[in-house]
A and B are shown apart, each in its own frame.
Chain A
Amino acid sequence: MSLLVIAHIYYPSDWEYLFERLVNLKEYSCTFIFNVVNPLYDKKEVLQYIHENFPHAILIEAPNHGRDIGGKLAAIDVSLKLKINSDFTLIIHDKQSPHTPTGFRWRNELFRVIEKKELPRIFSKFEKSKKTAIIGSGKFLMNEYDFSSQRFDSFSDEILRELIKETDLRLTDYSFIAGNIFWIRSELLRDFFSKHSPLKIRSKLEHGNVLDFNKGTYIHSWERIFSWLANIYGLKIVGI
């Protein structure tokens, strides 16, 4: 079993919380791709930490465009162009959510997918059921779609419907993991993003730290589509 980690690092502080947990994955055959956002601060400390603890990691410094979704798309693009093979991919970022007082609880819950004791359980779930495409925190498994009105209970409703049409997505389940941190079968990412250029998607995302509190965004729409990859390929999301 080989693993790929796509990790987006944005915040200049508290990044240790993520890395201390990612170290757990070094026990496995794992390729790490870190996107350390450019140009935020002098990143000497975090880069030094990566060089010392993940000497074989692939390091990129894509600009802060499209928040974590943009950074993850840049890293996915690199993984495809470098032809990195893996069975399962972890999509993760140094989540802090400073706009909400419950941000750290949200992060800690989502980060359960990289806790040492959870990892064997997660991989065994993937191996036991070929239908399992994505595994993430069950607490943040959400669905905003209202089948009766065929609309999303979200400011991004219009953008979501536009992207579904444009990308020709055939969906029967609109569940997604809020926070965009989960394990996914790598073949889904490879197949989907070789048909839909990650850099092209990224170029349409909003710049800077936009929120979806009062208007829809392409960033938050693609956050949902990442999880929908399971349903697109007739598979399912499993919560832990």
Chain B
Amino acid sequence: MIFDFIFFSEFPIDSSLFNEKEQNAGNDYVVGYFINNIDNTWSDFFCQPSFFNKGNGRFCLALESSILVENIQGKLTDNLVEVLGPIFFNHRYFTLNGIPLINVLVSIQEEKEICLVEPDRLLDLLNLIFHQLGYEAFYYCLINKSNMQMIKTNIPFDFIIYKQELSSYNENPKEWYLDFLENKSTTQRLIFFFTTSSMPINSIFSELRNAEVELKKKNPRLFAMLEEKAIFAKQLEHYEINLRGLKKEIESKEEYIANFHMKSAMKKMVDFYHYEYEILPTWYKRLGHIIKVITGKRTFRSLFSDKVKKYKN
């Protein structure tokens, strides 16, 4: 597909139902779990081995802001760190440029509450959670749940939010996507697709895929350009991840080198050598070399000549 799709739908009470709904093997889209409560269903679903090693299908979370508000008021950050940690660590968790994305849904009624608990305080809490988990950075997206407008984000490129029920295309995502591809898809890379439809995600995804097939037939030039743009965006992401890796490697090497320049470290090594070896009497050191030959660690001939191989490995 040209775009990365994140399909959000309600997290059901019976997690096994969601398991069936999420059969996305072979489909390269992201499953978004809309979470409004952290209970046993949550841990039963996310903390099972089969969820961790289920191929490469990516997923991410959209937390209802009330979960965060409760934790700010109850000062329960540790609890959130405990439940979110293994989820963010899961290799299938969706990342942009190698950095995890977390979404927060804020409903209109809650917006009053968010006035009491400012978006910045929500972000402070998210900052704390990610920091405690060892992340240097994370992407967030605060979305008004009622009108699907973005409130605040730090995602570094354009994306759109599509809510099927609010769209004039309603039950026909294919037509919406075709129109989007033909007329509006200039800068975006990512599409948030919210649905409460009973239609399985796989079926919606097939419809969207059909829209691309149709565009390819109808306007092959436009399709080729969009496809090329998507490939470049993926390459850029790949380079950015590698660049960050290389920067980290240089930082590490500089730290290692700095340690060797430290007088105390050098002195410790030289002192160790002096006290452990240098102060031994010469006859004892020579005897040590003979013992090396006897134990097979040094060649016999090397005792008499510097031109032969000294050590066996």
Contacts and interface: CB of A to CB of B under 8 A. Distances in A.
Contact of A60 (B81, B82, B90, B98): B90
Given A65-B134, A214-B262, A12 B47 contact: no
Contacts of A132: none
Interface stretch (A73-81, A114-122, A161-169): A73-81
A206 to B, nearest CB: 10
Interface stretch (B15-23, B156-164, B237-245): B237-245
Interface stretch (B179-187, B251-259, B277-285, B297-305): B251-259
Q: Which of A55, A70, A211 has the most CB of B within 10 A?
A: A211
A210 interface: yes
Given A62-B89, A82-B47, A199 B133 contact: yes
Contacts of A66: 134
Interface centre among B131, B238, B255 (most CB of A within 10 A): B255
A31 B48 CA distance: 13
Given A47-B91, A203-B81, A38 B52 contact: no
A59 B52 contact: yes
Given A199-B133, A210-B255, A211-B255, A59 B262 contact: no
Interface residues of B, number: 44
Interface string A187-229: 0000000000101101101011111011000000000000000
A57 B92 CA distance: 13
Interface in A21-64: 31, 35-36, 38-42, 47, 51, 55-64
A66 B234 CA distance: 30
Contacts of B53: 55-59
A30 B241 CA distance: 32
Interface residues of A, number: 46
Contacts of B70: none
A98 B256 contact: yes
B213 to A, nearest CB: 28
28 contacts: A12-B245, A38-B98, A39-B245, A41-B241, A42-B238, A51-B56, A57-B53, A58-B49, A60-B90, A61-B90, A62-B89, A63-B133, A63-B135, A74-B89, A82-B48, A98-B253, A99-B259, A99-B260, A199-B82, A203-B81, A203-B133, A208-B248, A208-B252, A209-B251, A209-B255, A210-B255, A211-B259, A214-B265
Given A213-B268, A214-B262, 13 more contacts: A42-B238, A42-B245, A47-B91, A57-B53, A59-B53, A60-B52, A65-B135, A74-B85, A81-B43, A199-B85, A199-B133, A205-B134, A209-B252
